[in-house]
A and B are shown apart, each in its own frame.
Chain A
Amino acid sequence: MAEIVLRNVTKRWGSFTGVACTNLTIADREFLVLLGPSGCGKTTTMRMIAGLEDATEGDILIDGRRINDLDPKDRDIAMVFQSYALYPNMNVYENIRFPLKVRRVPAEEHHDQVIRAAEMVELTDFLDRRPGELSGGQRQRVALARAIVRRPNVFLMDEPLSNLDAKLRVSTRAQIKNLSHELKVTTIYVTHDQIEAMTLADRVVIMKHGVIQQVGTPVEIYDRPANTFVASFIGNPAMNLMEGTLQDGVFTGRNARIAGIAGPDGPVVLGFRAEDATVVPAGGDIVAPAYTMELLGDATMVAVRAGGALVTVKAPKDYRVEIGAPVEISVPAAICQLFDADDGSRIEPA
Chain B
Amino acid sequence: MRFKTFACFVGPSLLLMVLFIAVPLVSVFIQSFHVTQPVIERIETERCTAGFLEQQCSTEIKNVPVLDERGSIVTTTRFVGLENYRAVVRPDSVQAAISSWNWPALMAIDFWKALRFTLSFTLITLPLVIGLGLTIALAVNNTTRSIRGPVIFVSLLPYIITPVIGALSIRWLFVGDGILTQAMEAWSGRQISMFAQGWTIELLMLFYRVWHVAPFAFVIFYAGLQTMNRDAIEAAMMDGASRFERLRYVIIPHLMPLIFFVSLIHLMDAYRVFEEVVGFRSQAHVISLQWLTYDLLQPDDAGNRAVSRASASAMLTMIGIVILLVPLLRKSWRDHKGVR
Given contacts A83-B231, A85-B231, A87-B232, whether A77 and B253 have CB atoms under 8 Å apart is no
A166 to B242, CA, bound (A): 37
Asked if B241 and A85 sit within 8 Å, CB to CB, the answer is no
Contacts of A267 in B (CB 8 A): none
Give the distance to chain A from B146, nearest Cβ to Cβ, in Å.
14
B residues within 8 A CB of A87? Answer: 232, 235-236, 249-250, 253
Pick the contact of A85: B234, B240, B242, B249 (CB < 8 A): B234
| A143: B residues at CB distance < 8 A | 235
B126 nearest CB across to chain A (Å): 22
Contact B239 A98, beta carbon cutoff 8 Å: yes
B229 adjacent to A50 (CB under 8 Å): no
Of B235, B236, B245, most A-chain CB atoms within 10 Å: B235
A79: B residues at CB distance < 8 A: 234-235, 238
* A94 and chain B: residue at smallest CB distance: B249
Chain A residues whose C-beta falls within 8 Å of the C-beta of B249 in the assembled complex = 87, 90, 98, 102
Name the prevailing secondary structure of the B interface residues: helix
* Residue pair B253, A102 in contact (C-beta under 8 Å): no
Q: Does B237 contact A (CB under 8 A)?
A: yes
Asked whether A198 is an interface residue with its Cβ less than 8 Å from the other chain, the reply is no
Contact indicator per residue, chain B 228-264, by CB within 8 Å of chain A (1) or not (0): 0101101111111110010001100110100000000
Shortest B61–chain A CB gap in Å is: 77
A85→B253 contact, CB < 8 A: no
B253 touches A73 (CB 8 A): no
User: Do A81 and B231 touch across chains, with their CB atoms under 8 A apart?
Assistant: yes
A residues in contact with B236, CB < 8 Å = 87, 98, 102
Expressed in whole angstroms, the Cα–Cα distance for A70 and B277 within the complex equals: 54
Cross-interface CB contact of B237 among A52, A86, A146, A150, cutoff 8 Å: A52
**Residue on B nearest A83 in the bound complex, by CB:** B231
Q: Give the interface size bracket for A toward B.
A: 20 to 34
With both beta carbons as reference points, the residue of chain A lying nearest to B232 in the complex is identified as A85
Which residues of A are found within 8 Å of B240, using beta-carbon distances?
73, 99, 102-103, 150
Number of interface residues of B (CB under 8 A): 19
- Let me know if A85 and B235 touch, CB within 8 A: yes
CA distance A90 to B254 in the complex (A): 11
CB neighbours (8 Å) of B238 from chain A are 50, 52, 72-73, 77-79
Judged by a CB distance under 8 angstroms, whether A89 is at the interface is yes
Whole-angstrom distance from the CB of A72 to the nearest CB of chain B? 5
Chain B CB count within 10 A is highest, among A82, A84, A85, A90, for: A85
Residues on A with beta carbons closer than 8 Å to the beta carbon of B234: 50, 52, 72, 79, 81, 85
Q: How far is the CA of A169 from the CA of B137 in the complex (A)?
A: 39
Contact A73 B241 (CB under 8 A): yes
B239 close to A146 (CB less than 8 A): yes
How distant is the Cα of A254 from the Cα of B250 in the complex, in angstroms?
62
In residues 101-129 of chain A, which contact B (Cβ within 8 Å)? 102-103
Q: Contact at B250–A102, with CB atoms within 8 Å?
A: no
With A87-B253, A98-B249 known as contacts, the answer to whether A72 contacts B231 (CB < 8 A) is no
A83/B229 contact (C-beta < 8 A), A52-B234, A89-B253, A98-B249 known: yes
Nearest-neighbor residue (CB-CB) of B235 within chain A: A85
Residue B245 contacts which of A77, A85, A102 (CB distance < 8 angstroms)? A102
- CB-defined contacts of B253 to chain A, threshold 8 Å: 87-89
A102 to B253, CA, bound (A): 16
Q: Closest CB of chain B to A203's CB: distance in Å?
A: 24
Within 8 A of B (CB), among A134-168: 143, 146, 150
Query: Which B residues lie within 8 Å of A98 (CB)?
Result: 236, 239, 241, 249
Contact between chains at A72 and B237 (CB < 8 Å): yes
Interface string of A50-94 (1 = CB under 8 A from B): 111000000000000000000111000111011111111110000
Name the B residues within 8 Å of A51 (CB-CB): 237
Q: For the complex, give the distance between the alpha carbons of A79 and B239 in Å.
A: 8
B residues 196-250 near A (Cβ < 8 Å) are 229, 231-232, 234-242, 245, 249-250
* 8 interchain residue pairs of minimum CB distance: A85-B231, A85-B235, A89-B253, A99-B239, A73-B240, A103-B240, A102-B241, A81-B231
Show 21 A/B contacts (Cβ-Cβ < 8 Å), sorted by A.
A51-B237, A52-B234, A52-B238, A72-B237, A73-B238, A73-B240, A79-B234, A81-B235, A84-B231, A85-B231, A85-B232, A86-B232, A86-B235, A87-B236, A88-B253, A99-B239, A102-B249, A103-B239, A103-B240, A143-B235, A146-B235
Extra A-B contacts (12), CB below 8 Å, given A73-B241, A79-B235:
A51-B237, A52-B234, A72-B237, A73-B238, A73-B240, A81-B234, A83-B231, A87-B250, A88-B254, A90-B249, A102-B236, A102-B239
